[in-house]
Amino acid sequence: MTEENILVKNAAHTDKPKLSIAIPYFRDDPCALIEAFSRLEGAKDVEIILVDDGSGDDDLDSAVSAAIENWPGSVKKIRFSQNRGRSAARNRAILECRANYVLFVDADMLPQDNLFLRRYLDLIEKNASAVVYGGFTTRAANVNIDTILHHSLSQAGDCRPASERKLKGAYAVASNNLLVRRDVLDKEPFDSGFHGWGWEDTEWALRSVKAGYGLVHIDNIAIHVGLDKTATVLNKYQEAGTNLRLLLQKHPIAKRFRGTKAAMFVRHLPFHQIFRPLAKAISLDKNQIFSLFIRRMAIKFWRASWAAEAMDQANDH
């Protein structure tokens, strides 16, 4: 395979779409999302740009190619031969988008109702705002013993109505259900200096708001069905510390964030690293002893401890 493999469907569909949907993915299966979107009102006016960020899975690629056959508009699928990172995948998708607005949706999401696309298309017609975040939720029906902690973390923290999210502004923005005017993305692309998981969408939101682009929070919810196992969340939280350090270097205002405050507090606890194995064991809770509240506190300590270490490493250089 070359560095990029590009598949175009419905190339004869020459009308400029009203909306471009960018779906970057790495080993997540976007087929259910594509099929769900294809049934929504307004789908014929929408193009999809898929970017496989180096999954290296031929079976997944074949399934995605089959799923896009029924899409009523144009589709472009780009497959990287190697993983380039979340920011690079989104930026690559932006280059292919023809509409004046781009909707970023994670591959493991689903629209909550049949008016999901119509609400965004109505906003586009009104040119209502440069940046719109629709929010997300998780459902108990998608939860099992391995994913219940991720579900609990999401419900306790990120799954909030627009009335609460707007109080946090850019801090409450994520790229899993994010509508952005194309000219904003041309001037403010995602920062590819962020590697691995975490904080790159927060940094983009902070930068875009600082540049003067309007941010609106609405309730146009997407459902996160691809909940992670606790072991996966632990790994993501561990690697996110370096990105938090980079976020703080670029945006000192991030010191006000709850996650940053937790890391700065833990940073001053002597030998906080020695408690990580205990925090990990409680988070995993293989014997189902601890309450979800205790497990959430344990995994948050784990995240804060790794972030604190990343901050210390920055000071050592």
Based on its alpha-carbon atoms, the radius of gyration of the chain, rounded to whole angstroms, reads 20
Task: With beta carbons less than 8 A apart as the criterion, state whether 178 and 86 touch.
Answer: no
End-of-domain residue from the set 228, 244, 267: 228
Whether residue 305 is predicted with pLDDT greater than 80 in this model: the reply is yes
**If DSSP codes are grouped into helix, strand and coil, which group holds residue 122?**
helix
Residues 139 and 256 occupy one common structural domain: no
Residues 255 and 185 occupy one common structural domain: no
Residues 221 and 266 occupy one common structural domain: no
End-of-domain residue from the set 197, 228, 259: 228
Residues 152 and 259 occupy one common structural domain: no
Q: Which domain holds residue 127?
A: 4-228
Structure tokens at 120: 């965004």
**What are 19-53's pLDDT values in tens digits?**
999 999 998 999 999 999 999 999 989 999 999 99
Structural domain count of the chain: 2
pTM of the predicted model as reported, rounded to 2 decimal places: 0.92
Going along the chain, which residue ranges are E strands? 4-9, 19-25, 46-52, 75-80, 101-105, 109-111, 131-133, 136-137, 177-181, 215-217, 222-224
Q: What is the mean pLDDT of residues 109-115?
A: 95
**What are 225-279's pLDDT values in tens digits?**
989 999 999 999 999 989 998 898 899 988 988 889 999 999 889 899 999 999 9
Residues 171 and 190 occupy one common structural domain: yes
pLDDT band at 142 (very low <50, low <70, confident <90, very high): confident
pLDDT band at 283 (very low <50, low <70, confident <90, very high): very high
Residues 91 and 164 occupy one common structural domain: yes
End-of-domain residue from the set 202, 228, 254: 228
Residue 317: its pLDDT value, please? Answer: 45
Identify the CATH number of the domain in which residue 199 sits.
3.90.550.10
Residues 165 and 188 occupy one common structural domain: yes
